[in-house]
Amino acid sequence: MADTEHQEVLDSLDKLSVCLYRLGISLFALALIGFSVVVYGVLDEYSQGYQWAISFICVSAALSAANVHIYSKQVRLVISWSSWVGLVLMASDFELSRVWLALGFIFVTFSGIALKESFCFKVPGLKLVPVLLAIATFSLWYEWAILAASSMLIAGFIMGYLSIAKWRMPLHFDIGIKENYEV
């Protein structure tokens, strides 16, 4: 857990990684809300809105996975590598027939981020995000559009609230104590 009283001296790479991590969370929230609109049926599956939403989810996953700050090496690997697996699955799915599977891996990353942030900063609703994203994944698999769209929309708003809260915090809150990181 982060010690908010400790203020680590951040170099330019630290600042950049925190900003990219926060940008990934912000972009994920917006993309998840947009994708929920697409899944609900407002836009066609093959429309540009669908492609943009998926693309933004993928970019947000790469930004957050590459820049997540977690002390435990094993937890950090699980959280970040699940996004990389999801991105490879997404890139190899030319017919977009297994989007639910790729998103499921990406959702593991953001579920881990939500849990991490809920332990550190007490943003309300974050502990629901993993449940909502799991519901969304299985709903996409079984093609239950309303349930998938609803759960992604709620998770998107919670992550959006997290994003606003994160941008208001000092950058050193995300880094914590550098000496505690397992390399």
Looking at residue 45, its pLDDT comes to 58
Looking at residue 108, its pLDDT comes to 98
d(CA 35, CA 156): 10
Looking at residue 19, its pLDDT comes to 97
Q: What is the mean pLDDT of each run of 10 residues along the chain (183 residues)?
A: 68 95 98 93 68 94 96 95 97 90 98 93 90 97 94 98 94 86 84
Q: Is the Cβ–Cβ distance between 26 and 167 less than 8 Å?
A: yes
Looking at residue 121, its pLDDT comes to 77
Looking at residue 46, its pLDDT comes to 60
| pTM for the structure as a whole | 0.92
Q: Is the Cβ–Cβ distance between 124 and 105 less than 8 Å?
A: no
